[in-house]
Amino acid sequence: TPPTSPPHFPGQRGVTAAAEPEEPKRDARPGRFSVSVAAGSTPGAGGRGRRMSCSVVLAVAGALAVATTLSVVLLKPFDHGSGGDTSAARPPSDTATGPSAAATPTTGTVPEQYLGTWRGTGTVSLAGQDIPGGTYDIVVRQAAPGGVVGSVTQTDALGGSCLDVLTLKSVTSKQLVAVGRGSEDNPSHCVPDAHVVRLTPASGGALDFTSEDPKAGNPKARLTRVD
């Protein structure tokens, strides 16, 4: 007669003898990371192979990822000694020396004839007629294209003023072209829109100022240096 076994119900695990815990094997070499899987996985169908539980698979995968990361981090600093380019490993020096340390003028540097503080009385256009537009104070400083080259302050007859910040677009000995934009601190009556500003050298060392700003009346003025 075949030996009887306890009845098996669907979904119920078979009763197996408890396995003695195995002492995990340790590699004698230092610095190695070992991973062992404890008994507790279940036999596959027909006794073929062993199928690990989901938690064990995740634990093993996590351990392998940590071991790989540690090996990359530990070995990376020694890559510079393999004869490759080591310039990235050298810290930057605090101060530059030699001819390259001196700043060299860039293309479009503002000529001396534009630099300084300028002032003049201007006009604005209203219904096709030029009317007094107040006083214009313009500051021009050294800048490369794309940088802030100065400012324009327009003061009307009542003492109200609007400030435009100038960004250099291009410059030659014949004309400086900038983009003006109203300052964020301007009163509400000032025009904030971007507009083109031109400074053109005139006779007697003066500058002709024009602003292509229809909302502000396309201001223009003859400027003289005040500093």
Look up the CATH number of the domain holding residue 213: 2.40.128.20
Q: What pLDDT is recorded for position 6? A: 52
Are 131 and 49 within one domain? no
Number of domains in the chain: 2
Is 116 found in the same domain as 210? yes
The per-residue pLDDT for 74 is 40
Decide if 1 is inside a domain.
Answer: no
147 with 218, same domain?
Answer: yes
Do the bridges between strand 161-171 and strand 176-182 make them parallel or antiparallel, or are there none, so unpaired? antiparallel
Cβ distance 134 to 155 under 8 Å? yes
Which residue ranges of the chain lie beneath pLDDT 50? 1, 9, 11-12, 14-19, 21, 24, 28-42, 44-60, 66-107
Q: Are residues 120 and 217 in the same domain?
A: yes
The whole-number pLDDT of residue 3 equals 52
Q: Tell me, what's the pLDDT at 186? A: 94
95 falls within a domain: no
Residue 170 and residue 120 in one domain:
yes
**Do 122 and 220 fall into the same domain?**
yes
Per-residue confidence (pLDDT) for residue 87, from 0 to 100: 44
> Is residue 210 in some structural domain?
yes
> Whole-structure pTM over 0.75, yes or no?
no
Tokens representing 211? 């602003």
Q: How far apart are CA 55 and CA 129, in angstroms?
A: 86
Q: Which domain holds residue 123?
A: 112-225
Indicate the helix (H) or strand (E) that contains 63: helix 54-75
Has residue 88 been placed in a domain? no
